[in-house]
């Protein structure tokens, strides 16, 4: 699964990197987050038709950057608490599961990340070593995601908190050396496929989801400080020296 990641880029960097046409949260600037955990607010790139001045939808969808909550809440959910259990959607079943299939057909997004964390069991199985997995040579990851809107029946229609937008990360089998750390990894979308992945009119994007090539990502051991969600700073990304219990890098 993908349960923690780092997203420290400034909004302006993301607007430029993803060639965003509309800032969907103009008054929101998320702080750099080196320990993104479920239920936190995160940036998501999506393509939707914005509303015009008279409340009608524009003729064409445009690429937007929005703030959403990590942990997908289906529109039919009784309350948003289910989102904490739906932070990942397995690529093998995302087309069929009721919680994800409608979003997979038309509400797909990209979740920007500098990298993500996974934990590898050490010999004996009682302890785990945290690893930070990131693009080789730097750069940004665009994790494949889905988003959904949930309407709070307990709020008035004019309440700005009436609608909750949430997301989930699509995961796949981790291969080669990354599979030694954990058997699952986020599914990535390469830049040349961003437009098609975000296109709400493309109903079956299955062919766009291809696991990252083995040489695309690197991993190195990091401090156990990342285990506590209250710890949050660039020091979480600092590599550990080889302790002898687990390799410092893979």
Residues marked as catalytic: 2, 118
3-class SS shares of the chain: helix, strand, coil, % to 5: 15, 35, 50
Q: What is the Cα–Cα distance from 51 to 194, expressed in whole angstroms?
A: 23
Distance CA 233, CA 210 (A): 32
* Neighbouring C-beta atoms of residue 68, cutoff 10 Å: 24
Sign of torsion over alpha carbons 103, 108, 113, 116 = positive
Residue 227 backbone zone (phi > 0: left; psi -120 to 50: alpha; other: beta): alpha
5 in Cβ contact with 35 (< 8 Å): no
Largest CA distance in the chain: 65
* Structure token digits, residue 69: 């909550």
Whether 118 contacts 182, CB under 8 Å: yes
Contact 200, 229 (CB under 8 A): no
């Amino acid at each position: 699964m993908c349960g923690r990641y780092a997203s420290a880029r400034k909004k302006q960097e993301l607007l430029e990197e993803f060639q965003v046409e509309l800032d969907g949260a103009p008054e929101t600037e998320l702080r750099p987050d080196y320990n993104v955990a479920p239920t936190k607010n995160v940036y998501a790139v999506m393509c939707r038709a914005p509303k015009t001045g008279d409340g009608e939808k524009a003729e064409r969808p445009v690429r937007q950057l929005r703030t959403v909550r990590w942990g997908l809440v289906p529109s039919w959910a009784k309350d948003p608490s289910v989102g904490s259990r739906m932070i990942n959607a397995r690529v093998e079943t995302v087309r069929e599961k009721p919680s994800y299939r409608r979003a997979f057909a038309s509400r797909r997004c990209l979740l920007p990340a500098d990298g993500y964390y996974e934990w590898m069991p050490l010999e004996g199985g009682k302890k785990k070593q945290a690893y930070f997995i990131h693009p080789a040579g730097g750069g940004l990851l665009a994790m494949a995601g889905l988003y959904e809107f949930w309407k709070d029946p307990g709020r008035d229609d004019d309440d700005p908190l009436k609608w909750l937008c949430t997301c989930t990360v699509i995961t796949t089998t981790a291969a080669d050396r990354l599979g030694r750390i954990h058997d699952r990894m986020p599914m990535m979308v390469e830049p040349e496929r961003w437009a098609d992945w975000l296109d709400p009119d493309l109903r079956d994007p299955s062919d766009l989801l291809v696991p990252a090539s083995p040489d695309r990502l690197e991993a190195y051991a990091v401090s156990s400080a990342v285990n506590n969600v209250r710890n949050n700073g660039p020091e979480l990304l600092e590599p550990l020296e080889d302790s002898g219990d687990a390799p410092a890098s893979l």
